[in-house]
Amino acid sequence: MTTTTADSLLAAFQAHYTELLVFVRRRVRCPSLAADIVQETYVRAATATTDRNVDNPRAFLYRVAGNLAIDHLRREQRRQAIMADGREADVVADARPGADQVLAAKQRVRRLMAIVDELPPKCREVFVLRRFDGLSQAEIADRLEISRNMVEKHLRKALAHCAFRLAEED
């Protein structure tokens, strides 16, 4: 992805963050899940391995967000169907990763942790509380005594940094 494309995606993401959030919230009907999907939207869009320019960054972000919301809903339906059928144990047993997959996942986690360590302290703390500890934006704002807007700003900055560094390394 070219720097210009990454910059235009970041600008579009920042400009349309709230409307993307509303768009996804209408689909998944859960504010915290919608916030996670919108954050994942930027990460996926920024790390997309494409050499072509994105003509309409806003439309591209909406497409990615919509697809992620649909993917989540489908996974949830499958999970519920499996739970209802009582085949949960069979699926879990079949889904165990191999040794090479475990090693690759550990390497990705180490790389991500190194990238997260590059963030400014407050930005890093907000990111870790949200993505690793699972706190909502409101809970983070209360805990750190900052506004929700500041929490969102820190999250956007952290996601942009992580996506840029991951794309840089790939």
Residue ranges, CATH 1.10.10.10, the chain = 97-170
For the question of whether the overall pTM of this predicted structure is more than 0.75, the answer is: no
Residues 6+ away with beta carbon under 8 Å from 10: 42, 46, 160
Q: Under DSSP, is residue 48 helix (H, G, I), strand (E, B) or coil?
A: coil
Residue ranges, CATH 1.10.1740, the chain = 1-95
Give me the tens of pLDDT residue by residue for the chain, a chain 170 residues long. 555 677 788 888 889 999 999 999 999 998 889 999 999 898 888 777 566 678 888 999 999 999 999 999 999 888 887 777 665 555 555 566 778 888 888 888 888 889 999 999 999 999 999 988 888 999 999 999 999 999 999 999 998 898 888 877 76
Q: Under DSSP, is residue 92 helix (H, G, I), strand (E, B) or coil?
A: helix
Residue pointed to by tokens 């500041």: 150
Q: In 10 A of CB 72, how many CB atoms?
A: 19
CATH number attached to the domain at 97-170: 1.10.10.10
Fold of 1-95: Rna Polymerase Sigma Factor; Chain: A (1.10.1740)
Alpha-carbon gap, residue 67 to 61, rounded angstroms: 10
Angle of CA points 57, 60, 64, to nearest 5°:
140
